[in-house]
Structure 1
Amino acid sequence: MKKLMFLLAFLLPGAALAAGGNVHLDTANYDLTDKASLQNGAKIFMNYCLGCHSMKYQRYQRTFQDLGIADELGQENLQFTGEKVTDYITRAMPEESASVWFGAAPPDLTLVARVRGADWLYTYLRSFYVDESRPFGVNNKVFKEVGMPHVLQPLQGTPRETYETRMIDGEEKQVYVGIKADGDGALSPEEYDQAVLDLVNFLEYTGEPARLESERIGKWVLVFIVVLFVFVYLLKKDYWREVH
């Protein structure tokens, strides 16, 4: 019983953090083998997220190599503050200034996908909507009272809550049906969803850069264990032959 209580105490806070309340999370069908998606996700992160959020546990050079980007091309298109290719990915915004502007310094995002989960991130980035009562004029269905602006709005357009009039129990009522952009963004709704998925894919990669290699090695380890088991079993049979 003590072990069960300890396990629940360890897992439940993380589950609650990942779920972000009772909001339904859409499935993020990311693919870590899709280099084009990862490259686009990196471009979106460097252009729209890096101004506030760092990735201080990830180096530019490691990122470029894993994503199939030449160092020179990466420096030219994905590095904007004059760092070396061997440097960690850090933001230009001073932490003290960020704390004043946002109330708290924006968190590092190297491991955000491991903490929050891909589905949470995918839903969160598609759940901003106009809310004039908030300091930045937006709120979020997944993260209520969000303290950051909707930085991807130039891509999505202005997102607003939409309602439909429906007959419920003989009465006309306004029913919330989702969030819809007004069409003034650079991308269509389908293209925006794909761009968000690419960004989530990139964040999944940075959370565990060696994941694909680990999975590849893990398969061979399992094969080795199976083969070893056969030899160990035959050895056991040989040792115990006369005993039986």
Structure 2
Amino acid sequence: MKTEKMKVLLYLKKSGLDKSGKAPIMGRITIGRSIAQFSCKISCNPDLWNPRESRMDGKSREAVEVNGRLENLLLSIQSAYQSLLARGCPFDATDVKEQFQGSVQTRCMLIERLDMLIKEKESHIGIDLRKESMASYHSTRIHLQEFIQKKYKVSDLAFSQLTENFIHEFQQYFLGECGFQESSFYNVATHLKTVCRLAYREGLADILLFDKVKISKGNKKLPKALDRGEFEKLKTLHFEDLEEEMETARDIFLFACYTGAAYCDL
């Protein structure tokens, strides 16, 4: 079989500006005489688009993010092309388009990307992260997958299947059926938003999910106070000879309790 070289062109559809004035980025795959066009599902400021480089100019946050997603997109197209070549059967530009779009959809899974984040975080234990901090990530994974299995009857969801309502339904499940506090869900929602933000940057999600959703931090916990029994027990607590500093700290604390003086001022 004669191997036809593949060409990929990225260009702006300037006739399709959105309300913010951004133009959608389109793509065109050419193999021999066959052509297949597709939407990159990415938009950018047309004034910053470099048609010669098929990239955005500059080092702004938007430029870095868009260019990064385009790189990932081109890698997916190239991977699809190589995969079809390896089969040894004739194919055209449309086959490449369908192959890469299908492969993107199959790898855009929420729990799978969360697992990758957890694995990455675990590699930081002992460096800039404590082992105890991972408990919240594992808890998020457990309850998120339980919710998906109960609500959707599947073990995982593609990012393309998620809607803005997903996080609100998950919140109702987490607070209602699981019985957790709002402050606990705030941490879970933060993890979920982080995964979605990473997926968007990597081209795994077409939109930045839940970015505008505001989650309440809940009521701040009141400092835990000693009851009368605990206070009396502390008064009579006996310290060993080598625990003089602890005994002194206890006595200062008792003095503050009796006099009303601020403990930090003593």
What TM-score comes out, normalization by structure 1 length?
A: 0.22
Higher relative CO (CA 8 A, sep ≥ 6), structure 1 or 2?
Answer: 1
What TM-score comes out, normalization by structure 2 length?
A: 0.21
Larger Rg: 2
